[in-house]
Amino acid sequence: MRGVLRQAVLLIGLAFLPAIGQALYFRGNPAVLAKPADAHEVTLAEAKGWGQSVLWLDARPHEEFDSGHVPGALSLNEDDWNGLLPAVLATWKPAGKVVVYCSRKSCNASHGVAERLRNEAGLKNVYVLPGGWEEWEENAHR
Amino acid sequence: MKISLAFAGSLLLFVLPLRASSLTWENLEADLHPAITDKEAVAHFKYKNTGDQPVRITAVKPSCGCTTAAPPNEPVAPGASGEITATFHIGDRIGMQTKTIHVTTDEPGSNTTLTLKADVPKLLEINPTFLYWSKVQPVTPRVILAKVGGDFAVTKLEVSSSDSDVKVETSADPKDKTQFTITVTPKKTNRPLNAMLKIQPDFPKDTPKMFYANVRVDAHPENAPASSPAASPAATPAATP
């Protein structure tokens, strides 16, 4: 019995090793554990709370947009930026908000589109929904 | 201490994921410098199976729909080499582009991330690409700056508007030969308009590239007919983009 207990303690100790290593490596740097603070990111609840004042922009490729998108969203991706941008700017409302999304958390197309809208077109109130279309679909019936 | 089977098994589970992957990559990162006329940029990531068992590449997932890459159909035999070819479709992207490709094999814990960096040359930097006159702003001329990037030999810009009610004038900066000024003035403001400006540099000569800026005017209240909603005092005050 004592032998089994000793082996269990040894296994638990081994399992803790990587955690201890990480804690030592990131000592004094708690920011690494926190959610990155990006002022341009919004949660789905926040964006939905803005109601009709939101212009939703879908930064995914055409074929993904065609197979499903946020109701009322316009397509704007960098594959065809020049072709798609005029329709977006004609719809944009100065007092409204723009929320850009792509497929999921791991994609970065929404950030690229949002940055160009801010830096090149000079639009304000441009936000990114980090969870993207995946998050929208998961919450569609809630 | 007598070692139990459960302990040995658990220890094995702990150590197994630490085993090095059999696929050795020649490069995990590719720096690409496409030419100004290129439509795509291709990266090659070479690997070799340095283990003693065949390895199957089960998935190759690019982070962006703009990049395509596929796993090989056959398993990689011990000692065999191969490559993942990733094609980045440039589209209307400009500047430094960083895309990742996640490669998974049938070995436990052997995920590899490949990085493709493509520096898409900026022939012209247009700023801003959107001019907006709201209902309450006076219609005064606005300026778009077009800055020539790198050492490109642009000497002239042709600028035209899709709407004849938008007047455009282009002038080269006398002090800075790499900069042009495009002055935009809507002629009439009693109707809303959305116009596209086409900006064409005289370089490259053989394959001209077109750049764009957009102009939008919301109907101006003092010019609008009395019945127009734009003349209403309740009209939404507009912000400058």
**Secondary structure of B41-62 as H, E, C letters:** EEEEEEEEECCCCCECEEEEEE
* E strand residue ranges, A1-142: 54-58, 74-75, 97-101, 126-128
Chain A residue with the nearest C-alpha to that of B40: A79
pLDDT over 70 (residue B3): no
pTM confidence score: 0.78
Q: How confident is the model at residue B69 (pLDDT cuts 50, 70, 90)?
A: very high
Asked if the peptide bond before residue B128 counts as cis, ω within 30 degrees of 0, the response is yes
pLDDT-derived band of residue B213, with 50, 70 and 90 as boundaries?
A: very high
Q: Residue B231: what pLDDT?
A: 33
pLDDT digits (tens, 9 = 90+) for A60-117: 999 999 999 999 999 999 999 999 999 999 999 999 999 999 998 888 899 999 999 9
Q: Over range B7-14, report the average pLDDT.
A: 56
What per-residue confidence (pLDDT) applies to B189? 75
pLDDT for B196 equals 97
* CA–CA separation, B183 and B173 (whole Å): 12
So what's the ipTM on this one? 0.78
Checking if the pLDDT of B116 tops 70, the result is yes
Say if residue A23's pLDDT is above 60: no
| pLDDT at res. B21 | 78
Mutate: best of A55, A65, A89, partner B, most B CBs <10 A: A89
B211-217 and B130-133 as β-strands: parallel, antiparallel, unpaired? parallel
Residues of B in contact with A3 (CB under 8 A): 1-2, 4
Give the pLDDT band of residue A30 (cuts 50, 70, 90): very low
Q: Lowest-confidence range among A74-78, B87-91, B108-112, B166-170? A: B108-112
pLDDT confidence bin for B191, thresholds 50/70/90: confident
A5 pLDDT above the threshold of 90: no
pLDDT for A16 equals: 62
What are the tens digits of pLDDT across the range A118-131?
Answer: 999 999 999 999 99
Measured between beta carbons, the chain B residues lying within 8 angstroms of A10 are 7
A85, A95, A103 ranked by CB distance to B239: nearest: A95
Is B91's CB within 8 Å of A77's CB? yes
Answer yes or no: do A11 and B7 touch at CB < 8 A: yes
pLDDT confidence band for A38 (50 / 70 / 90): confident
pLDDT in tens, B133-178: 988 778 899 999 999 998 899 999 999 999 999 999 999 999 998 9
- Which residues in chain B have Cβ-Cβ distances shorter than 8 Å to A112? 93
A61, A81, A124: residue with CB nearest B65: A61
Under 8 Å CB pairs connecting chains A and B tally to 97
Q: How confident is the model at residue B235 (pLDDT cuts 50, 70, 90)?
A: very low
Q: How far apart are CA B165 and CA B171, in angstroms?
A: 20
What average pLDDT does this structure show over A42-66?
96
pLDDT value for A22:
54
Residues 6+ apart with CB under 8 A from A81: A116, B91, B92, B93
Q: What percent of chain B has pLDDT over 90?
A: 70
